[in-house]
Amino acid sequence: MWFVLVFALLAVLLVIAGTMRIVRRRRAGLGHGRVFPAALEHPAPQRHGEAPPEASPSGGAFRGGGLGSTLKGLFHGGATEATWHELEELLLKADVGPKAASDMVHRVRADHPTGGDVIDTVRTEILSILGPDRPLTLDGRLSVILVVGVNGSGKTTTIGKLAKRLVSEGRIVSVAAADTFRAAAGEQLAIWARVAGAQLIAQDRGADPGAVAFDAVKASEARGVDVLIVDTAGRLHTKQPLMDELSKIARVIEKAGAAVVETFLVLDAQTGQNGIAQARAFTDAVTITGVVLTKTDGSAKGGIVLAVREELGVPVRFVGVGERPNDLRPFDAGVFADRLLSSG
Amino acid sequence: MFDTLTERLDGVFSKLRKRGKLHPKQVDNALADVRTALLEADVAVEVADDLVNRVRSRALSEEVLKSLTPAQQVVKIVNEELNVTLGGEHRPFTLPGAPPVVVLVAGVQGSGKTTACAKLAKHLKSKGKRPLLVGADLERPAAVDQLRTLGREIGVPVWSEGRDPIKLAKNSVKEAERTGADVVIIDTAGRLHVDSEMMRQARKIKDVTKPTHVLMACDAMTGQDAVIQAREFMRDVDTTGFILTKLDGDARGGAALSMTAVTGRPIFFAGTGERLDDLEPFYPDRMAGRILGMGDVLTLIEKAQGTVDAEKAAAAAEQMLQGRFNLEDFLEQLRQMRKLGPIQDILKMLPGVPGGKNAVKEMAEEVNEAELRRAEAMILSMTLEERRNPAIISGSRRLRIANGSGTTTADVNQLLKDFEGARKMMRSMMGGKRLPGMARIPGPQLKA
C-alpha cells in the first residue's frame, strides 16, 4: 500500500528532521528561507547570422572528420582484441550506452571475426535501429505542434527555427508562448517569432499554460493559421505535477477543437543515459511523435536517440545543426550514423 | 534492470559465497559490472576505466577476498575511490581579494547559467554580500530580460549595456565600484566549446575582468561530452570550479564526477530545484552514493531541516511515540512533506531496502501526487472530531466525506483502512525503538 509507505516515510523523516533541527537551532539561529517563484533554466541561444541556402536533411553537424574515418583506420590491419575494444569505446563515447554498445560489438564480432567490413555492418545496425526517416507532413486544416522537453534542451530555439522553416514553405504560422514560468521566455519567443515571420500568441508570465494553449488555438483558427506551434516550459521529467500539466495542455488543445498532429520531444545531443528516462516520462505524459536532436554542432554525438528509438519507438525527426535561424534540418539517419562513427 | 550497484554486486557475489573464498577472476567479473554501472551513470569512459583499475588493485587484497561480505567490501572501496575522483572533501566557495571581486559564469547553451547566476547572487546576498548581476549574454534573445526579472525577484541589481560583451564586462566592474557592490557575477552567453570565436571572446572577457572565480555551469544530465567540454573550457578560460545544475532530476550525474576528475577543479554548488533558493553546497561523498544508486539520506535530512517546522515535527514525533497519531497529524505531516518537494524526489533520496525485493521502490512507483491530493481532500472533508477519532466515522459520515471530496465511499473506506494499518505499523516500529533506521525496516512488514 503506497499509503503506508508515505506514512512511514513522513514519520521517520519528521522525527529525524525535527530532532536534528532543534539541536541545530540551539547552536545557531536559523530562519526560514523565503520561497520565490523561480525561473527554469532552459534557454538555448542563437546568433543571428545570414541564412544559408535551404538546408538539406541531416543527422547532425559535421566538424571535420570523415565518414567512419575512425573506424576505417581502426580495422585497417584486421580485427584484434584491442580494435574491438576501441569500437566499443567509440560507441560509449557517443552516449550509445554500455549495454547497447557491448551488444552491438558482440553482434558485429560474431558476424565478422576477422574485421573486414565492420564499419558497414555497424552503420547498417544503426540504420536499422533508427528505421526509415519520417519527414514532417501537414495537411490543410489547423495543425498543432506541441514542443516539450527538459530545461535547457533548446525548445524555444527549435520552435523559432521550425517556424521559420514552415513560413518559408509558404505556411501561415503562429507560435504560442505556453512557457509562462521561466522569466522572459515569452520575450525570447517573441523575438524568434519576428525573425521567423510568425504570429505570436502570449499572455503574461505566470498565466495558466493550458489557457494560453486554448486561446492560441481559438486565435489561430480565427486568423486562418495553418500551423500553430506551442512552446512549453522546460520541465524535469521527474516532476510529476509538471508532467500532468503537460497532459492537460494536450487535452486542452484537443478540447479547443484542434488536432495535435505532432508532439516533439527536444533532446540535447549532449544528454547522457538519462535521456532514456526523459523520453520514457514524456511518452507517458503525452504522445511523443518525434525527437528533435539539438546542439549537434558541438562534439556530442547524441547516441542516446538509438536507445530512445529502440525502447520507445520514437523516431528522430529534426536536428539542430547550428545557431542560425536556418540551422534546423530534417533528420537523415545516414548522416547521423556517419557522424556517430566519425572522430570529428 | 538493477537499481543499485549494491544490489547488482550482491547478485554477483551471492553466487560465489556458496563456494567460499573469492577468486580474483570473480572480482574481475564483479568489476565489469561496476564499470557498466559507472557508464550508465554517465561517468566518462576513461575515468571509469581508471577508477575500476584502482578498485581492482585494492579489491584483490587478502582481507577483501577472505571477507564474509565481499560485496559490501567492494562497494565500500568503490565508494572511497569515487570520493577520491570527485575531489574528496567538500571545498567551500570563498571570494578572497579586494572588492569588487568578479565571478564569471560560463558554459554551453542550456546548461543553466542565467538561473545559476541568480541563485548564486541570492546565496551570496544571504551571506551578507552585495552582489551585482551582470547580463553579458547578448546572444540569446531576451537573456538579459530573464536576468533582470530574476534579479528583481531576489532584490539584486542587474546591470547591462551596449552590444559588446567584452566592453560591457569591463565596465561592469566600474559599475560595481560606483554602486558599492562587492561581488560582480557575470552571466555570459552560452557557447559550444568547439566554437573558437566564442571561446576567444570568453577568454577576452576573462582577461579584462580578472575574475576570482570562473565557474562553469554543467547540466547534470550531460553524457560523455562533459569531459570534452570541461577540458576545453579549462584550457580557454581556466575554470576554477563547477556549478552542477538540474540535479533535481534523476540523472546520476556521473558527468560531474568525470569533469572533476579530468580538470582537478571542484564542484562548488549544485542546483537542486526550480526555486531560487535551490542552490546547495556540493558534497562529493554524497554524490558518490548517488552515482552508485545508494540514495542521499544526508541531503534529504538537510533539506528537511531547512523547510520543516521543528516544533510541529517534534510534536508529531511525540504523538507517534505514544501511539496517538490521528488523521489531523497526518494531514499536517503531509503538508510539511509537500514542502520538501515532489514525493518521488524524496523517495529517490532514500536508499533502497537491502536484500531481495525492493518493496519500498515498488510502492514508490504507486505513489503519485494526485493520490496524495485525493487523500488530503478526503481528510479536509472530515470534521475535526472525525479527524481526531476516525472510529466514529459511520456510513452516513463516509458518504458525506466522499461527496465533499469528490471521491467515493470506497475511497474513503480504503483511506481509513490504510490509515489504521499504517498506524499499527508505526506503533510496532516505534515500540521497537529503531527510529532513525528507515532503511532497516524489512520489506514485507511494509505491506501490512
Say whether A6 sits in a helix, a strand or coil: helix
As a whole number of angstroms, the distance between CA A43 and CA A41 comes to: 6
Q: Which three cell numbers stand for residue B26?
A: 570473480
pLDDT, residue B323, reads 65
Distance CA B259, CA B85 (A): 10
Query: For residue B266, what are the CA distances in angstroms to A272, B219, B336, B377?
Result: 21, 15, 34, 46
Residue recorded with cell 522525527:
A15
Radius of gyration of chain B (CA): 26
- Please tell me the predicted confidence (pLDDT) of residue B33: 81
- Determine the residue of chain A that is closest to B350 in CA distance: A9
| Among A5, A153, A158, A188, the residue to mutate for chain B (most B Cβ within 10 A) | A5
The reply to whether residue B304 touches residue A19, judged by beta carbons under 8 angstroms, is no
A vs B: CB pairs below 8 A: 347
Q: How many angstroms separate the CA atoms of A95 and A274, rounded? A: 10
Tell if the CB–CB gap between B109 and A44 is shorter than 8 Å: yes
Query: Is B119:B276 a contact under the CB 8 Å cutoff?
Result: yes
Q: How far is CA B423 from CA A13, B329, B333, B389, in A?
A: 16, 12, 14, 13
Number of residues in chain B: 448
First to last CA, chain A: 52
Q: State whether A34 and B435 contact (CB < 8 Å).
A: no
Q: How far apart are CA B3 and CA A338, in angstroms?
A: 33
List chain B residues with CB under 8 Å of A46.
139-141
What's the pLDDT tens digit per position in A331-341? 999 999 999 99
Which has the closest alpha carbon to A14: B287, B346, B363, B389? B346
Spatial distance between the Cα atoms of B43 and B40, rounded to a whole number of angstroms: 7
CA-based nearest distance B55→chain A, Å: 19
In contact, A87 and A96? CB cutoff 8 Å: no
Q: Which residues of A touch B189 (CB under 8 A)?
A: 45
What gap in Å lies between CA A263 and CA A286, rounded to an integer?
A: 8
Q: Are B136 and B245 in contact (CB under 8 A)?
A: no
Helix, strand, or coil here: A266? strand
Residue B416 CA from chain centroid, whole number: 34
Query: What is the number of alpha carbons within 13 Å of residue B278 lying toward its C-beta?
Result: 23
Alpha-carbon span A271 to A281, nearest angstrom: 15
Amino acid at the residue A233 = A
Angle among Cα A54, A59, A65 to the nearest 5 degrees reads: 100
**CA A169 from chain center: how many Å?**
24
Distance between CA atoms of residues B362 and B355, nearest Å: 14
Nearest-angstrom CA–CA distance, B378 and B401? 6
pLDDT of residue A38: 28
Per-residue pLDDT tens digits for A109-149: 888 877 777 888 899 999 999 999 999 998 878 999 999 99
**How many degrees, rounded to 5, is the angle at CA A133 between CA A130 and CA A139?**
140
What stretches of B34-154 adopt beta strand conformation (E)? 101-106, 131-136
The C-alpha of A71 sits at a distance from chain B's nearest C-alpha, in angstroms, of 18
Q: Which SS3 state, helix, strand or coil, does residue B310 take?
A: helix
CB contact under 8 A, A238 and B41: no
- Considering only CB atoms, which chain B residues are within 8 Å of A39? 114-115, 118, 146, 149-150, 274, 276
pLDDT at position A55 is 57
**B253, B291 contact by CB (below 8 A):** yes
Longest CA span, chain B: 76
- Which one, of B89, B346, B443, lies nearest residue A16 by Cα? B346
Identify the closest residue of chain B to A31 by CA–CA distance: B306
The CATH number given to A143-331 is 3.40.50.300
User: Which residue in B has a C-alpha nearest to residue A301's C-alpha?
Assistant: B225
CA–CA distance, B167 with A338 (Å, rounded to integer): 42
**Chain-centre distance for alpha carbon A332:** 16
Nearest to B189 by CA among B234, B124, B143: B143
What does the pLDDT look like over A199-252, one tens digit per residue?
999 998 889 999 999 999 999 999 999 999 999 999 999 888 899 999 999 999
The answer on pLDDT for A44 being more than 60 is no
Place of cell 524526489: B345
Render the burial of B75-92: b for 16+ CB within 10 Å, e for the rest. bebbbbbbbebbbeeebe
- The grid coordinates listed for B237 are 578560460
**Sheet of strand B183-188, all strands in order from the earlier edge strand to the far edge:** B158-159, B131-136, B183-188, B101-106, B213-219, B241-245, B267-271, B279-281
Going by C-alpha positions, the residue among B93, B426, B41 that lies closest to residue A5 is B426
A318's grid cell: 529534426
Q: How far is residue B398's CA from residue B386's CA, in Å, rounded to a whole number?
A: 10
Widest CA span in chain A: 72
CB atoms within 10 A of CB A56: 9
Residue A176 φ then ψ, to 5° = -110, 130
pTM for this prediction:
0.76
- Using 70 as the pLDDT threshold, list the residues of chain B that sit under it: 1-22, 62-72, 292-314, 316-323, 342-368, 426-448
Residues A23, B310: Cα–Cα separation, whole Å: 10
φ, ψ of residue B267 in degrees (nearest 5): -95, 120
Q: Cβ contact (<8 Å) for A151 and B112?
A: yes
Q: Cα distance from A328 to chain B (closest Cα, Å)? A: 16
Q: Which residue of B has its CA nearest to A39?
A: B274
Closest chain B CA to residue A41: B112
- Kindly list the residues from chain A whose CB atom is less than 8 angstroms away from the CB atom of residue B192: 295, 297-298
Distance from CA of A96 to the nearest CA of B (A): 10
Angstrom distance (rounded) from CA A134 to CA A318: 9
DSSP-assigned letters across all residues of B364-413 = HHH--HHHHHHHHHHHHTS-HHHHH-GGG--HHHHHHHHHHHT--HHHHH
Q: Distance (Å) from the C-alpha of residue B326 to the closest C-alpha of chain A? A: 11
What is the pLDDT averaged over residues A170-188? 94
Structure confidence at residue B446 (pLDDT) = 30
Q: Where are the domains of chain A?
A: 143-331
Angle at B118 between CA B117 and CA B123, to 5 degrees: 95
Task: Report d(CA A265, CA A263) in Å as an integer.
Answer: 7
- Please tell me the predicted confidence (pLDDT) of residue A39: 30
The label of the residue with cell 514524456 reads A282
What does pLDDT average to over chain A? 83
**Among the ranges given (A55-69, A188-202, B236-250), the one the predictor scored with the smallest mean pLDDT:** A55-69
Indicate yes or no: CB of B190 within 8 angstroms of CB of A43: yes
Which residues from B are below 8 Å from A271, CB to CB?
Answer: 221-223
Domains of chain B: 5-85 (1.20.120.140), 101-289 (3.40.50.300), 301-446 (1.10.260.30)
Query: Cβ A45–B422 below 8 Å, yes or no?
Result: no
Q: Which three cell numbers stand for residue B144?
A: 538579459
What is the complex's ipTM, to 2 decimals?
A: 0.80
**In Å, how far is A140's CA from the nearest CA of chain B?**
32
CA A190 to each of CA A160, A185, B239: distance values in angstroms, whole numbers, following the listed order: 9, 9, 34
